């Protein structure tokens, strides 16, 4: 099977852009990879983007690149934020609303992981992963929900980027897999409690995805991508297409689901 890791360009003309035009989305971990791909697709659908990331230089470059895709540069703005820090999260939401108004869509994408054998794992490595992937995402979802529940006549969607590593077992991924499994249950429970308010909460679970970070950290990337039933790794564009559906009114009756986008990887 031949792997094709090139990013696919997807036109926004295939979606009902009217459902998202003029809306506001906050994308965490949005300066690279999957987060950037999602921000790009939402921008093409008419959304105003608050892009959040930790590194100022990388964030600034991402914002500038996105601004070249739209009619007004003020439709994309960057916020330096650390999702493992509660005060930084609170400041991020305040800044996003001050700049771009009420939030319609949260894409909680910020997260990280490392490959460390279980017996070599330190408490600090465990805690760092849980603080960012699980606790930080919980705080983002809660803050977004609190800001959304007062508005009943608008599209309001929370998308949590999880992983198929929460569904199966691979060695040396204990904190990452555990944190993502926790996110899946967070989505289910939050979706149940918020359903009566009209706020939707869903998970998006990518499989192996051709991002620069994934390819740099995994010297077996090509070998593992070739074992995916559909013959290649996913791309940020694949994840963005799924996120666009979950963000839009097309998914108005969808909440608490885990949308797996992995080319069949989790089937074995």
**Short-list 57, 44, 62, 170, CA closest to 109:** 62
Q: What percent helix, strand, coil does the chain show, rounded to 5? A: 50, 15, 35
Active site residue 36: no
Cα separation, 29 vs 36, in Å, equals 8
Token readout for 179 is 């944190």
Identify the active-site residue in 36, 176, 245, 268: 176
Q: Name which of 63, 185, 40, 175 is nearest 121 in CA terms.
A: 175
Q: What backbone phi and psi angles, to 5 degrees, belong to 108?
A: -90, 90
Task: Kindly give, in sequence order, each residue whose CB lies less than 8 Å from that of residue 19, ignoring residues fewer than 6 positions away.
Answer: 155, 248, 249, 250
For the annotated catalytic residues, the residue numbers are 176
């Amino acid at each position: 099977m031949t792997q094709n890791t090139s990013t696919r360009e997807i036109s926004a003309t295939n979606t009902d852009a009217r459902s998202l035009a003029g809306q506001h989305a906050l994308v965490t971990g949005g300066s690279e990879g999957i987060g950037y791909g999602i921000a790009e697709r939402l921008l093409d659908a008419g959304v105003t983007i608050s892009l959040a990331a930790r590194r100022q230089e990388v964030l600034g470059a991402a914002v500038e690149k996105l601004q070249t895709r739209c009619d007004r540069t003020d439709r994309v703005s960057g916020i330096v934020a650390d999702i493992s820090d509660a005060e930084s999260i609170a400041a991020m939401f305040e800044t996003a609303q001050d700049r771009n108004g009420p939030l319609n869509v949260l894409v909680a994408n910020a997260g990280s992981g490392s490959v460390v054998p279980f017996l070599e794992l330190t408490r600090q490595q465990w805690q760092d992963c849980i603080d960012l992937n699980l606790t930080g995402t919980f705080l983002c979802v809660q803050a977004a929900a609190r800001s959304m529940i007062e508005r009943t006549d608008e599209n309001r969607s929370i998308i949590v980027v999880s992983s198929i590593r929460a569904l199966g077992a691979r060695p040396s991924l204990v904190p990452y897999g555990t944190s993502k499994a926790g996110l899946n249950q967070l989505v289910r429970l939050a979706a149940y409690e918020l359903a009566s308010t009209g706020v939707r909460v869903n998970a998006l679970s990518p499989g192996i995805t051709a991002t620069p970070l994934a390819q740099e950290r995994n010297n077996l990337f090509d070998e593992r991508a070739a074992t995916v039933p559909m013959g290649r790794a996913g791309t940020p564009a694949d994840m963005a297409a799924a996120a666009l559906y979950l963000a839009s009114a097309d998914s108005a009756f969808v909440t608490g689901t885990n949308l797996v986008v992995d080319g069949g990887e989790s089937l074995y």
